[in-house]
Chains A and B, each alone.
Chain A
Amino acid sequence: MSNDKLYNLSNLYNMIGEDKDVIIEFVQLFVDTSVQTLAEMQNALSENDFINVGSLAHKLKSSIDLMGIECLKSDIRTIERFGKEKINTNELPGLIDRLSSVIKQVHVQMNEDFNLS
């Protein structure tokens, strides 16, 4: 895998082995679930439901760790903390925009690498 990749699947390989079909299945699942979670997060933000924003960030956190998206590991934790503690909520829109943008780029890279449906 080249260095400009935003994700690193070594953790996933470690957990499920080298079976490419299974890897694709999980990558596809990540794409599907993260799109949905991001949409829910945007919606919660628009309704100022910060607790829910925090919960959704918590939910997404383990997937980001699993997919080795290093550049989001700190941001997702910050979103979770700010949301759950209802602090610095004015910073949340910027953080969530960045989160959405990086994840979209990851999806593109994954599509290229695995020829997803």
Chain B
Amino acid sequence: MSSDSWRAFLPMLRAGDDLAKGQLVEAYFDYVYSALLRLSRLLNSKWYSPLPDVEIQELAEELAGLAFGKAFADIASFDESKSALPSWIVWKGRAALKGTVLKEIREAARHSRRGTPDLTEQGFAGEDASGAQPDPADEAVRRLSMAESDSRVRTILASMLPSHRQALTAAYLGAASGSSAVDVIATAMGTSKFAADSLLRRAVREFRRRWVAK
């Protein structure tokens, strides 16, 4: 767990103090970079490691820079009662994973191997690859329904068993499905892959059970 020294910087960050940004980077770069490097390596390994590790390290550095930049830009919306600031920065970086690390992995995979699954079709969980333009009325209904659905997801996650919740959060952070989700959980929860796989199955079952329950 990261230390709480970030709390001292928070008022200054909110006041737009650039020196505080530097102090935060000094204090938490290693932490944020390590977490993003781990996620990037897992993503690369999921696609049969088309990029050498040294490039993944470079991309993770770029990602960490983006994460800090985005976090500083959005600092007004940070809620310290929901998470620690360094975790939130990693989460910001995770949102940029697709546009940086995955993009390069895709390029490398296309050039390195034939028969590698087409990443544009599988992509991240939640990514719509169809490209079809929806009807505006249908889209409005869909958005309303999604807002309700999103709220339910958050409620369910908040009420789940802590270990199950953590497993799903880890799988979500890994932003991938199948074996990669198990890898992320095994790393994030310090368990064997076998235990992570079992935990993930139980977590998904609990989520689905609550989802269909009235």
A binds B: no
